[in-house]
Amino acid sequence: MILLLLILLGIATYFIVKRSVAGITTTPIWLLWLVMMAPPFVWTGWILAYGRNRPMPAALLLGVFFASLILYTFLIQKGRIQPQTKANETTNNSKTPETAKPADAEAPKVRPINKEEEAQLRDCFPWSVYYLQDLEYHPQAVICRGHLRTKSEEAYRTIRSNIQAKFGDRFLVIFQDSFTEHPFFALVPNPQAHPDVKRINANIDRPGLALALLLITLFTTTVIGTEIAGVTLKALQSDPSLLLKGLPYSLAIMTILGVHEMGHYLMAKRYKIRATLPYFIPIPFFLGTFGAFIQMRSPVPNRKALFDVGIAGPLAGFIVTIPLLIWGLANSSVVPLPERTGILQFDALIPNFSILLAILSKLALGSELTAKTAINLHPVAVAGYIGLIVTALNLMPVGQLDGGHIVHAMFGQKKAIAIGQLARLLLLFVSLMPILFQVTLIPRDFLLWALFLFLMPVYDEPALNDVTELDNKRDLFGLLSLALLLLIILPAPQFLIRLLN
């Protein structure tokens, strides 16, 4: 099991590192991956050599982790690609016919603005709306600095309309807060205006690919479902009809993941954001799938849209998860308390590490569940339980996770970055408590979550209008989503355990 988790972590780490830093550094991805995987390699080696019962020295545990982070940051900075260098590379590449179109499509360069166009641009900023003071020309943007004279939403709508009237679809107009507390406008090349990008976006929906991945994932999750249901591989080979026993788990987990992603997809469509259909990721082991995802191919218009798209997935998935989980728990069996358990030990799960799971388990199983028993999860309960974990992981307020989008929309980009850093450090501290202080209520598996979060950038892409704040209703729903996260990941306190017996 340990080696399987290490393999899964290694695969996920590679793709996260590649997606996060491939465009900002020349340092080889394989080297960055090796540095970030050094702590899991060392920790796994210790467990294999000395077993789980022998505690790892704190110096080794923390030293290898922080040394890895420092070296990872150093290697990124050493190979960092400067904006001017990237612009020069784009210019040089454009001289080669074979590479001209891809270079322009990926990193379109601002065309020079002559005196006449500069005068037109200044005319787009009415002094009563936004008092323009200065224009700054950068390789990939024109920064317009000044003072906001009216409501941010009205200012953005007015100035964007004026710029579109003068320049058409040449620029995307971004409105952002600055460190001086004076919001500024940025004009960046609109990649959607490029003919190649328009052609690609015209074929953004690929229902054939989405359907193929869905069917493959249905098969892989069904196979894993038979294992969860207690069907051995030998029995399955002799009687293929036993594969049907895997359908309850398969249909439940795919419903939860599919509804989650459809929540994002439908909300993106509501705001006219270009998005792909949900794509499932099949794997022939572990849970049978790595989940599902959609890709948004156009900018988010404002923080309201960012919030709605971000929260729609976890909310929709959670609404489906709860009834499936309760039904599955009610049909699960109670078993004697094992010597050791984990958050992925489905045949003997102790629910006390989660407040919400403890309450739902007691609600479903009643007096059968006591402090000296664990739960052998029904396959549908396994799917519902995984849905709960997926909801919690996505609600983590870090970077481009759903929770990161939510706190970004609620508090702004700068505060969201600080919240993300704090969340990562707190989860790391909590995950180390079982190792450093022998706290039994907190699963050791939380350390994997902490590693995943440290691999992710805390920076979230800004919305076009990243200044206008949310209304009170959305702020309330955002706080409730963070409260739900705490209910899922915090262990049940002793008074609650005694109350639930």
> What is the average per-residue pLDDT within 99-119?
57
Please say whether the dihedral angle defined by the alpha carbons of residues 85, 91, 92 and 96, taken in this order, is positive or negative.
positive
CA angle, corner 355, sides to 351 and 360, nearest 5?
65
Query: What pLDDT, in 10s, does the model give residues 414-453?
Result: 899 899 989 888 888 777 776 665 555 566 667 777 777 8
- Cα–Cα distance measured from residue 174 to residue 183, given in angstroms and rounded to the nearest whole number: 10
Length of the chain: 501
Residue spans of alpha helices (H) in 183-246: 195-202, 207-228, 233-238
- Cα–Cα distance measured from residue 1 to residue 200, given in angstroms and rounded to the nearest whole number: 42
pLDDT above 90 as % of the chain: 40
| Contact partners, residue 68, CB within 8 Å, separation at least 6 | 35, 36, 38, 39
pTM: 0.79
Across the chain, mean pLDDT equals 82
pLDDT above 70 as % of the chain: 82
The position carrying tokens 């999750």 is 221
Query: What pLDDT, in 10s, does the model give residues 273-315?
Result: 999 899 998 887 788 888 888 888 888 999 999 999 999 999 9
Query: What pLDDT, in 10s, does the model give residues 338-353?
Result: 877 777 788 888 888 8
Contact 456, 20 (CB under 8 A): yes
* Surface-to-core class of residue 23, CB atoms within 10 Å of its CB (0-12 exposed, 13-18 middle, 19+ buried): exposed
Query: What pLDDT, in 10s, does the model give residues 19-76?
Result: 666 666 788 888 888 887 887 788 778 777 777 666 667 667 667 777 877 787 778 7
**Least confident piece of the model among 125-139, 470-484, 486-500:** 486-500
Contact 174, 464 (CB under 8 A): yes
According to the model, what pLDDT value does residue 79 have? 77
* Surface-to-core class of residue 50, CB atoms within 10 Å of its CB (0-12 exposed, 13-18 middle, 19+ buried): exposed
Question: Between the CA of residue 249 and those of 144, 219, 342, 363, 384, what are the distances in Å?
Answer: 54, 11, 20, 21, 9
User: What secondary structure, in 3-state letters, does 405-435 show?
Assistant: HHHHHHHCHHHHHHHHHHHHHHHHHHHHHHH
Q: How many Cβ atoms from other residues are within 10 Å of residue 3's Cβ? A: 9
